[in-house]
Amino acid sequence: MNGPMLGADASGDHGDLAYTDPLTGLGNNRRFTTKIKRLIGERADDPAPFAIGIIDLDGFKPINDLFGRAAGDEILMQVALRLHAAMDRHSTVARIGADEFAFLFPMTFSEAAVAEQARMLIEILSAPYDLGERSARLSASVGCSLYYIGNETAEDLIRKAETALYHAKRSGRGRVVVYTQEMEEAAKRMTRIEQALRRAVSAEEVEPHFQPIVEMTTKKVIGFEALARWTDKDLGFVSPGLFIPIAEERGIISALSQLLLRKATRAAQDWPDELFLAFNLSPSQLVDQNTAEQILSILRRAEFEPRRLEVEITETGMMSDPASAEKIVQDLRAEGVRIALDDFGTGQSSLGRLREFHFDKLKIDQAFVASMFEDRSSEHIIRAILAMCEGLNMEVVAEGIETQEQAARLSEIGCRGGQGYFFGRPVDAAATLRYLGTSASTPPIARFG
């Protein structure tokens, strides 16, 4: 299949090249916006509802990277054909981004109806794509919005559909979300948090807290993981589960990470030399080739030995751009920085990645620890991970240990490293230093949390 294949959108309009996507022959973003504006104009005196939606292809980039750009273009053309065929004579489909398509349903009048139609489109797109000797599968997420009142603009509707799409992707693949007013409030709150976070990073108000990592048999602390904590003067305490994703999505994560690493290495300079500092990298940092040099530069300025730093990356982050992640890992390891694979068992990487990336340590996700007594398969998985790591000569730390029973069982089956509230909650630099200054004979559990 070569070149543009669709000379008209589903409503039968023919347009010039300025309004046409050159790959698929569908209308482009300009055509899509123009059609919405025209429909709003037609319904100005009697604003009957209509629906729009934005379709994002889940997992298209990894497939594009795996099979190559030509195969990626072939998939996009097949997507366009399927969507075009699914439109009735009133409706429009357009390609508005690299792997984003949009639809306009003039005769759809309710949230339930557009959600049902969007689910049908997801089903159509989920069938295998023929790539000659190979095939590929995709899922899709859809965000929708409805026109109800005469003062809404095309840009308003598209923005609302984008907000709904954001919520759809946050809730998992293959989802449909229709815009609601609650999403608008959530979006406004996120914007307030983003603005406050930018100020906080600039003013260096975000702090690292440190959680102990212990050797299980002796309960001796062998290192600390740095975790971001932020209390805003207006917003109060903001959960890292909220502000870290915002930092990631809004392009603040690199500046935030560098701030935290500077503060964490300064704090760790006062620890005994044998203790290491564990520090998390976000997925977006693993596609930025400046990341390794930024980290090493901070270590040099702080005169912090690279061998005492342990960088933690997740399977999901590693898979975003494997070549970029591997280069960053290699550059850090060459200077003595150790690399740990975090949250193992919850991501999407293959076991082959463990060999390719040469990890020094693997961290067992807390979900397996939490369910190990209720779900026998969780303990079997932990045992298998421990055996695998022994064969690969990798250290292991189990995360999320909260009880004596969990700690004892993990130690019994051969897990040598542990972390969790049972051993200590994250505390600030001053409290960490006070803990390290107390008697070595005091049980770590009594001295933390």
Tell me the C-alpha distance between 444 and 214, whole Å: 9
> Does the structure show a pLDDT above 70 at 5?
no
Q: 211 - beta bridge partners?
A: 225
CB 83 within 8 A of CB 103: yes
The beta-strand segments (E) located in 233-320 are: 236-238, 276-280, 309-314
pLDDT at 375: 85
The whole-angstrom separation of Cα 403 and Cα 370 is 10
User: Nearest Cα to 238, choosing from 200, 185, 280?
Assistant: 200
| Phi and psi at residue 367, to the nearest 5° | -60, -35
Question: How do residues 321-342 score in pLDDT, each as one tens digit?
Answer: 888 999 999 999 999 999 999 9
Q: State the residue for tokens 């045992």.
A: 383
Cα–Cα distances (Å) from 354 to 350, 386, 393, in that order, read 8, 13, 11
- 307 vs 316: CA distance, rounded Å: 25
Q: Cα–chain-centroid distance for residue 37?
A: 34
Token pair listed for 367: 């979900």
Q: Which of 208, 171, 164 is nearest to 186 (CA)?
A: 164
Tokens of 224: 């600390």
Where is pLDDT greater, at 44 or 268?
Answer: 268
Please report the pLDDT score of residue 203 as a whole number. 98
What DSSP line would sit under 331-389, residue for residue?
HHHHTT-EEEEEEETSS---THHHHHHT-SEEEE-HHHHHTTTT-HHHHHHHHHHHHHH
The lowest-confidence range among 8-12, 24-28, 188-192, 291-295 is 8-12
CB 365 within 8 A of CB 334: no
| Six-digit token string for 270 | 């006062």
Instruction: Provide the pLDDT confidence category of residue 358 given band limits of 50, 70 and 90.
Output: confident
Residues present in the chain in total:
449
* Rounded Cα gap, residues 422 and 404, in angstroms: 7
Token representation of residue 19: 């309004």
For residues 211 and 426, is the Cβ–Cβ distance under 8 A? yes
Which tokens is 123 given?
A: 């089903």
pLDDT for the residue numbered 442? 41
- Span 173-197, average pLDDT: 92
Q: Are 302 and 335 in contact (CB under 8 A)?
A: no
Q: What is the mean pLDDT of residues 411-418?
A: 96
Whether the per-residue pLDDT at 53 is higher than 60: the answer is yes
Task: For residue 194, give the H/E element and its range.
Answer: helix 181-202
Q: Determine phi and psi for 51, rounding to 5 degrees.
A: -125, 145
pLDDT in tens, 88-126: 999 999 999 999 999 999 999 999 999 999 999 999 999
Tokens 């600390």 -> residue: 224
Q: Is the pLDDT of residue 312 over 90?
A: yes
Give me the sign of the Cα torsion angle 316, 321, 323, 324. negative
pLDDT band at 381 (very low <50, low <70, confident <90, very high): very high
Instruction: State the DSSP string of 134-159.
Output: EEE--EEEEEEEEE-STT--HHHHHH
Q: What is the rounded CA–CA span in Å between residue 101 and residue 204?
A: 40
Residue appearing with tokens 């939490």: 370
pLDDT, residue 240, reads: 97
Domains and CATH numbers, the chain: 17-179 (3.30.70.270), 190-447 (3.20.20.450)
Cβ contact 254:284 at 8 Å: yes
